[in-house]
Amino acid sequence: MKRFITLAACAGAACALPATSRSGVVARSSSALSSRAANDSSFPSASGSSFIIDGKQQYYAGTNSYWLGFQTNNADVDLVMKNLATSGLKVLRVWGFNDVTSDPGSNTVYFQSFINGEAKINTGANGLERLDYVVKSAEEHGIKLIINFVNNWTDYGGMAAYFDFAGISSNAEWYTNEKAQTQYQAYIKAVVTRYSSSPAVFAWELANEPRCKGCDLSVLSDWVKTSAAYVKSLDSKHMVTTGEEGFGLDGDGSYPYQFAEGGDFNATCADPNVDFCVYHLYPDSWGTADNAQEWGNNWIKNHAKVCEALGKPCVLEEFGFNNNCDVELAWETTALATKGTGGDMFWQYGDTLSSGKSHQDGNTVYYQDDLWKCMVAPHVAAIGNQ
């Protein structure tokens, strides 16, 4: 579980637009970024336990940058993409959501608003046009993107942003509420159709860390089934994944292996419209920090067993342990060596932007700093030596 800075904090980190920018909310239609139709072979795909990108089948390493789509300086976006391409990291996960429940002003980036009982998707200059530039820059630099649609947490709105609009009061209700799900699908459609022809999209992701505490296991698995099928009905060429933490599977019986958060990793992973399976790794947040290295290695192996049995790749999509290189590099090494695993993505990428250093949340790894040289560069080299 990772938590993030708020919109207010983000405004001081180059997430606000210049005063001269237009808000362009909803009324202004915007065409998809890439008008060209890409051939099927140009889209990333899964094959057995690995992925094919640009015709090359192998294990891939990547990272996360939740904040990149909220930047308003195009040069900052290009800098990140250039540095990723130079480093050998291939896949970047970014937030495809940014929901507000009050007017943030024309100088602040947001993608969807829920105000006075009305839901509006912001396709303008301080809305999805910012995500447009991320996709455009990714295309130009050969980076592939995982883009998600909603947050389990309240950071950047999340499912809670839908509550008043839908007349509900909990995330558990959100998954089955018709009004919430209709708007969720409307937002999915707005994003997916905007980039459905872009080869820069690695995969669409249903949510960030979906949970349904105390729910019947069918709630999340049914929601995954419905949502993944809907995404595929809009775009059958790109992959789909869940964004889950990987809770609920056979293991040592510790909290993350239990089903208390409503997750059943086997069930969601097995869905025919889920192309690959993801899970996260945060022992310090889950009460499993004692002997974190060994515990994490087993967590990786147990998820890989599920994926291998299903014939799909697993991706260790987020991981961090207080910037401990020894532990995190060991996890990367285990993931690379474990059959059933097709990639890993550390949390999170950091860089020096026009406004200064990007947010440090305790797990940020800044480009070319000592931690980067200890855990990122050697891992990329090891992948290249396979």
Q: Is 239 contained in some domain?
A: yes
Distances (CA, A) of 184 to 162, 223, 229: 9, 12, 14
Judged by DSSP in three states, 208 sits in strand
Q: Is 4 contained in some domain?
A: no
pLDDT in the model for residue 264: 99
Per the structure, the count of domains in the chain is 1
pLDDT in the model for residue 386: 85
pLDDT in the model for residue 41: 76
Assign 28 a pLDDT band (cuts: 50, 70, 90).
very low
Single pTM value for the model: 0.92
pLDDT tens-digit map of 57-74: 999 999 999 999 999 999
Active site residue 209: yes
Domain that holds residue 55: 24-384
Look at residue 9 and tell me whether its pLDDT is greater than 80.
no
pLDDT in the model for residue 36: 32
Mean pLDDT for 8-35 is: 36
Look at residue 21 and tell me whether its pLDDT is greater than 90.
no
Residue 366's contacts (CB-CB under 8 Å, 6 or more residues apart) are 350, 351, 352, 357, 358, 372
pLDDT in the model for residue 42: 87
pLDDT tens-digit map of 218-265: 999 999 999 999 999 999 999 999 999 999 999 999 999 999 999 999
pLDDT tens-digit map of 110-133: 999 999 999 999 999 999 999 999
Query: Of 129, 139, 244, 318, which is the active-site residue?
Result: 318
Q: Is 13 contained in some domain?
A: no
Q: Is 252 contained in some domain?
A: yes
- Mean of pLDDT over the chain: 92
Q: Is 9 contained in some domain?
A: no
pLDDT in the model for residue 176: 99
Q: Are 307 and 49 in contact (CB under 8 A)?
A: yes
Mean pLDDT for 144-149 is: 99
Q: Is 60 contained in some domain?
A: yes
Mean pLDDT for 42-61 is: 96
Q: Is 19 contained in some domain?
A: no
Angle (CA) 241-245-249 rounded to 5° is 100
Look at residue 43 and tell me whether its pLDDT is greater than 70.
yes
Residue 276: give its domain's CATH number: 3.20.20.80
pLDDT in the model for residue 20: 32
Q: Are 216 and 204 in contact (CB under 8 A)?
A: no
Give the Cα separation of 242 and 278 in Å (integer): 7
Assign 40 a pLDDT band (cuts: 50, 70, 90).
confident
Q: Is 147 contained in some domain?
A: yes
Look at residue 329 and tell me whether its pLDDT is greater than 50.
yes
Assign 12 a pLDDT band (cuts: 50, 70, 90).
very low
DSSP state of 373: I
Look at residue 25 and tell me whether its pLDDT is greater than 50.
no
Assign 177 a pLDDT band (cuts: 50, 70, 90).
very high
Query: Of 129, 209, 244, 245, which is the active-site residue?
Result: 209
Active site residue 318: yes
Look at residue 10 and tell me whether its pLDDT is greater than 70.
no
| Burial class of residue 267 in the structure, from the number of CB atoms within 10 Å of its CB (0-12 exposed, 13-18 middle, 19+ buried) | middle
